[in-house]
Amino acid sequence: MSESPFKGKTGLQRVFNALGYSIDGLKAGWANEAAFRQVSLLACLGIPLALILTLPGWARMAVIASHLLTVIVELLNSAIEAAVDHTSLEKHHLAKRAKDLGSAAQLICLLNLALIWGLALRG
């Protein structure tokens, strides 16, 4: 029997390990990132609201997807910031660029969310 080309566990054990890492990431985001808590709470309000309101199916789907996208982008933005800070706390133009690009991605997501809600409520 040949050795697996993947490091670590395989099969179901790998899936369970990955789930554990993902849960750890969500816990770390909640504990350490105010922006993650904010977009998560916004999603916890916005998603049920989208399900309760009488909206066309496309609008409901777009609102929910946009809320989830803001949460995903905030996790990625926080990961970029943590990696940059781990590398060095000294000011560097590339570190600033990386952080600013992550922040810009989240700004675009939030603008998209506002636009989608506006379109959804307009009908």
CATH number at residue 52: 1.10.287.3610
Residue 67 domain-assigned (yes or no): yes
- Helical segments of the chain, H only: 11-32, 34-52, 57-87, 93-122
Catalytic residue among 3, 74, 81, 90: 74
20-37 residue pLDDT tens: 999 999 999 999 999 999
Catalytic site includes residue 81:
no
* CA contacts within 13 A on the Cβ side of 109: 23
Residue 45 domain-assigned (yes or no): yes
Q: Is the CA virtual torsion 44, 45, 49, 50 positive or negative?
A: negative
Output the CA angle 74-78-87, nearest 5 degrees: 155
Residue 7 domain-assigned (yes or no): no
> Which residues lie below 8 Å from residue 74, measured CB to CB, with a gap of 6+?
29, 33, 35, 36, 39, 106
Residue 22 domain-assigned (yes or no): no
User: What does pLDDT average to over the chain?
Assistant: 93
Structure tokens at 99: 């952080």
- Considering only CA atoms, give the Rg of the chain: 18
Please report which confidence band the pLDDT of residue 114 belongs to, taking 50, 70 and 90 as the band edges.
Answer: very high
Domain count, the chain: 1
Domain of residue 101, residue span: 34-122
